[in-house]
Structure 1
Amino acid sequence: MIAAEMKELHRSIGALRHHIVTLKAHYGDCDAVRRMANDLDRLEIDLHDFEHALPPRIRVKGKDDVIYVPDSKSDEAAWLGAQDEGLGFHSRERTK
């Protein structure tokens, strides 16, 4: 599957290169066209580096990674004296 994506990225870079050459033919070597060509060169270098030194794959979270949080009422005493950040006031005594 990943090989197909890499092949598609190479095809897309080739198509972008063709379009940038067309822009250069119509508008000359202006700053914007030069920047796009430079960005495309950088993308091509990054893709080459990626292909030759693949980073480790990330592990997709599965059903076993779900953490159950109960709906039951928690112990309010644990929150006494805590700050209510973002509510417009600082430290205050919490009530039950």
Structure 2
Amino acid sequence: MSTTTELDQLHELIGGLRRCVSSLASRYGDSTAMRRIVNDAERIQNDIDRLDIDAEELNLARGVSHHHHNVEKIGIPDTQYASDFWQDVDDDGPMSPSPFD
């Protein structure tokens, strides 16, 4: 989404859809067809809510960031850890290959 306005429009549209679905459900009662339509409207609402959550990630993927955080960078030394650093850690063995490779 390129602007918040588009997300606002989606919220308005799903609000209208849900009102129409509620009206139809009150008219036609609890039938298989109406349950399917109600479920579809709820799924779309959930998808739009998820899109709200993912909007910043989508903007970051496009190289756009609306939030400029002043963050202090922390340097990580390139030196070896002390040998006792891993003392109480269990070895799980070699990692299995990724299913995505």
TM-score bracket, shorter-length normalisation: 0.5 to 0.7
Distance change in 2, residues 1:57/1:37 (3 Å): farther
- Count matched residues: 58
1:22 equivalent in structure 2: 23
1:36 equivalent in structure 2: 37
2:48 equivalent in structure 1: 47
How far off is 1:26 after superposition? 1.0
Ranges in structure 1 where 5+ consecutive residues have no aligned partner: 59-96
Alignment of 1:84-95 (within 5 A): none
Q: CA RMSD in A?
A: 1.7
How far off is 1:40 after superposition? 1.0
Q: Which of 27, 35, 57 is matched with 2:62 structurally? A: 57
TM-score by length of 1: 0.54
Deviations, residues 33-70 of structure 1 (Å, cap 9, x unaligned): 11111111111111111111233239xxxxxxxxxxxx
- Higher relative contact order structure (alpha carbons within 8 Å, sequence separation ≥ 6): 2
1:89 equivalent in structure 2: none
TM-score by length of 2: 0.52
Percent of residue pairs bearing the same amino acid type: 33
Structure 1 stretch displaced more, 48-57 or 35-44: 48-57
Runs of 4+ in structure 1 off by over 3 angstroms are none
* Structure with bigger gyration radius: 1
